[in-house]
């Protein structure tokens, strides 16, 4: 693979995204097996090193946003890709229906409270984008409200980046057929029944509406400061490799360095 994943899967800022032109079953030229497993393990080990370096440098933070149609693998991505990082410096926030307190504030209020501190990683399982996705498709607010949120989101994310928070956004792209297969798998497995909800099946009827909403999100909110990546997610191993690889490429591009020691190390050695 000669092209970097960040380049290959980028939703290019300023250009319209049509998901029909992106293959959710793309293998990125890889084959499932030991070689790809080894590459994923290498990415995860490198991500652990980079997290440690970011924590030590204490200059910036990483915000990872995961979005996708129901059953696209947001939970699985977190479980498999982030399993190697230090949980002490990593926090996951799942954004569900807003509480009464959250609903009494602007839609970004609860989001800003969850952004990472310097040296930390925060992962959003769903995010502020629900307010231009679910709110739009289910008509929870009028168009005059949700249509103004794209610019507000871009301004918010630019503010975060200006304050040394790296924002990386992943759209986990699955096909309608793969979603059906995963729903059927959950129906057939009693240990997965807890994942089922009536709203998921209702939303499946709105598939085309969600695709249109996601295309607008990817087209209008992929920016130089906070890019979107469209990750083929029909195959879980491809999804995991792509997400881990993009995170590694992104953090390595920051050229982080360990800070200089606050004390004279040679004198400490002499004191032993």
DSSP 260: P
Q: What is the pLDDT of residue 80?
A: 94
pLDDT band at 268 (very low <50, low <70, confident <90, very high): confident
Read off the pLDDT of residues 13-52 as tens digits, 9 standing for 90 and up: 999 999 999 999 999 999 999 999 999 999 999 999 999 9
Percent of the chain with pLDDT over 90: 91
Per the model's pLDDT, the better-predicted residue between 268 and 179 turns out to be 179
pLDDT at 188 over 80: yes
Judge whether 128 and 108 are in contact, CB under 8 Å: yes
**Has residue 2 got a pLDDT over 60?**
no
> Average pLDDT in the 82-97 region?
92
- CA 262/CA 101 separation, integer angstroms: 43
Predicted pLDDT at 1: 52
Report pLDDT for 29: 95
| CA dist 55 → 49, 139, 149, 157, 186 (Å) | 10, 42, 32, 21, 38
Query: What gap in Å lies between CA 163 and CA 90, rounded to an integer?
Result: 19
Whole-number pLDDT of residue 262: 83
Most confident stretch, 82-86, 196-200, 203-207: 203-207
Q: Which domains does the chain have, with CATH numbers?
A: 5-98+105-257 (3.40.50.300)
Instruction: Report phi then psi at 183, rounded to 5.
Output: -65, -45
Reported as half-sphere exposure (CB side, CA atoms, 13 A), residue 73 has a value of 27
Q: What is the pTM of this model?
A: 0.95
Structure confidence by residue, pLDDT tens digits, 119-177: 999 999 999 999 999 999 999 999 999 999 999 999 999 999 999 999 999 999 999 99
Contact of 116 with 61, CB cutoff 8 Å? yes
Burial of 24 (0-12, 13-18, 19+ CB in 10 A): buried
């Amino acid at each position: 693979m000669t092209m970097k994943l960040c380049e290959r899967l980028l939703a290019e800022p300023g250009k319209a995204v049509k998901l029909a032109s992106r293959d959710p079953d793309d293998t990125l030229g890889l084959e499932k097996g030991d070689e790809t497993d080894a590459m994923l393990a290498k990415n995860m080990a490198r991500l652990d090193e980079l997290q440690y370096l970011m924590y030590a440098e204490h200059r910036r933070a990483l915000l990872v946003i995961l979005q996708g149609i129901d059953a696209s693998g947001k939970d699985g991505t977190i479980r498999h890709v982030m399993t190697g990082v230090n949980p002490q410096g990593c926090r996951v926030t799942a954004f569900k229906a807003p509480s009464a307190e959250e609903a009494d504030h602007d839609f970004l209020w609860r989001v800003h409270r969850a952004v990472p501190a310097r040296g930390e990683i925060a992962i959003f399982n769903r995010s502020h984008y629900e307010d231009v996705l679910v709110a739009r498709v289910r008509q929870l607010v009028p168009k005059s409200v949700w249509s103004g949120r794209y610019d507000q989101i871009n301004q918010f994310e630019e503010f975060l980046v200006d304050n040394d928070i790296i924002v990386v956004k992943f759209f986990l792209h699955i096909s309608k057929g793969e979603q059906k297969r995963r729903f059927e798998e959950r129906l057939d497995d009693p240990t997965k029944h807890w994942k089922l909800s009536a709203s998921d099946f209702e939303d499946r009827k709105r598939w085309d509406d969600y695709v249109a909403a996601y295309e607008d999100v990817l087209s209008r909110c992929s920016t130089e400061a906070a890019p979107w990546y469209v990750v083929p997610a029909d195959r879980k191993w491809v999804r995991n490799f792509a997400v881990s690889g993009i995170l590694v490429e992104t953090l390595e591009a920051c050229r982080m360095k360990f800070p200089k020691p606050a004390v004279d190390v040679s004198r400490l050695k002499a004191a032993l």
